[in-house]
Each structure stands twice: as structure tokens, then as C-alpha cells.
Amino acid sequence: MSGDGYREGRFTSQDNIGIYYRDYGDPLSPATPLLCLTGLTRNSADYHDFARRLSGGRRVLTMDYRGRGRSDYDPNHMNYVPPTYVMDIVHLLAVTNCHRVIVIGTSLGGILAMVMGAVRPTALAGVVLNDIGPEIDPRGIARITGYVGTSVPITTFDGAAEQLKRMFGQAYPDLGADDWRAYAERTFVNGAHGHLRLDYDLNLSKALLAQAKAPTDLWPYFRALAHVPLLAIRGALTDILSEETFDRMADAHPGMIRVGVPNRGHVPLLDEPECVAAVDDFLERYGHGVH
């Protein structure tokens, strides 16, 4: 057990890539486990506070996708695609003996939850989509493709925090200096020659550009969640999930619980009062089944 309240694990994927994960809480808890899936360039550290808060009464898993954090980088960057990630997730569930989970999916993680609804529907006891849906606003796509894979020389975490604030300050207008510093420490690691480096494979941008040129219709995957309890969270300032798409999601899934988060863009951090209350209520309603 780590001093931070989690066990570290690692397994080898079907194509020989080492995948790192964190395992919080009691594996024998009768409550339905949570599987926390991060955004595109993020890693398991993003969910640390969230997982610690919820692991008192249930097991919580989070992972570094291949090419992020402590997982191996893939020598073939075209494997940085949802079908491969989902195979890794299915492997994680097998390794940890979790047959049925509630998925908390942030951005890309929400897309992967939708895909799981189509290919592993019996594994889902519920899904929380954090600022993502089956259509992605072109403004957000342009912004993300504009920065993913781009690295600039930075030597201090305070400098990294300032850069992140310039890039993402519109999404988090009320974060303070300590918040941005913590964000930087989850985003960068020590690299060569006294510089920091982004904690993901910069070749991810090549796969992202290829996917942007031939986007997948995600509506069939969203509709695969029709019989799964669903909570959808949207940041009021987001440039990824439009209000129109949010409305269409509710039409397609009448049981969907909708939560808007003021003063947040892409993505809410899940520590906002609206998110805490909504997630806790969702878990109280749907998180105590047999798994």
C-alpha cells in the first residue's frame, strides 16, 4: 500500500505494453467498484483526491493509458486509439477481478465508457460522463489539436503552472496559485538537462490528427448506454460539449441525470459542490449492487 492510500499495480497488455494502475479502497467491499478514466493527455494522478474521498466505502481503480504517466509508451503511435484503450481496460478489469463497475469517464474517458457500453455492456453498472458526449464541438477539437504534442522549454513547476494558467485559465477562472501548481505537478515530470517534460508521449498528437480527419460517429455508442444508469456533467464554459448536444443526449436517454457546473470549462474537476453532490447521490442510488 502506498503512503498515499493506494496500491500500485502493473500488467502487460495483449501486445506487450506495460500498463500502470492505482487501486484504492477495500477490494472485498460489497459496494460496486469505480473505474475512473481520464482525459486524453492525463494520468491517474488526476483522480487521486476524488478516489481517496470515495474509497472509504468502495474500491476505486484508475489507470494510466498506454503512452501516459507510468505506463509504457507504444512504439506504434497509431495504437493510441479507443479500441486499443478499451482492450487495455478489459484486461485491467480481469487482472483486478472486477466484473461490474461504475465508470467515471472524463473527456476521452467518457468516450471509452460509451464504447464499453457497446462491447462490454454487462461490465457497466452505471456511467458518469464528465463534459463529453457523442458530438464534440469543433471549437474544442481545434483547441486540443493545437496544443497536444507541443512542448516548450520549462525548468520549474512554477513556470509550468504559469503556462497552464495561460492555456486553460478560461476554463478555471477561480483557481488560485496553489491549484495551478498542483495541476502542473500532475502534468509535468522531470526530464533531461534540468527541464520538465509533459508526462505523455508527444506522438499522441499524430494519432489525434489522424482521428480528427476521419471522425467516428459516436451516437451509436452513446445509445448503447440506453439501459445503463447515466449521470452527465457539463461545464458551463465548455467548448467541447454544446448545449444542443447535451439536450439531444437527454432526448436519447430519458433517464439521464443532467448536472451543469458554473464557472467551469472543459473539464470540471469533480471537486465542485455540484459534482460532489451529484456523484454521491448517483453512487447512493446505483452503487450498491452485486459485482
Fold of 6-145+216-286: Rossmann fold (3.40.50)
pLDDT at 291: 43
pLDDT of res. 2? 58
Q: How far apart are CA 275 and CA 192, in angstroms?
A: 38
**pTM for the complete prediction?**
0.96
Surface-to-core class of residue 62, CB atoms within 10 Å of its CB (0-12 exposed, 13-18 middle, 19+ buried): buried
DSSP string, 157-219: HHHHHHHHHHHHTTT-TT--HHHHHHHHHHHEEE-GGG-EEESB-TTHHHHHHHHHHS----H
The answer to whether the beta carbons of residues 267 and 235 sit under 8 Å apart is yes
* Predicted local distance difference test score (pLDDT) of residue 290: 47
- Contact between residue 155 and residue 196 where contact means Cβ atoms under 8 Å apart: yes
pLDDT of residue 241: 98
Q: Which residues pair with 18 in a beta bridge?
A: 12
- Which residues of the chain register pLDDT less than 70? 1-3, 289-291
Domain boundaries, the chain: 6-145+216-286, 151-201
- Could you tell me if 68 and 74 are in contact, meaning their C-beta atoms sit under 8 angstroms apart? no
Instruction: Quick: pLDDT tens for 245-283.
Output: 999 999 999 999 999 999 999 999 999 999 999 999 999
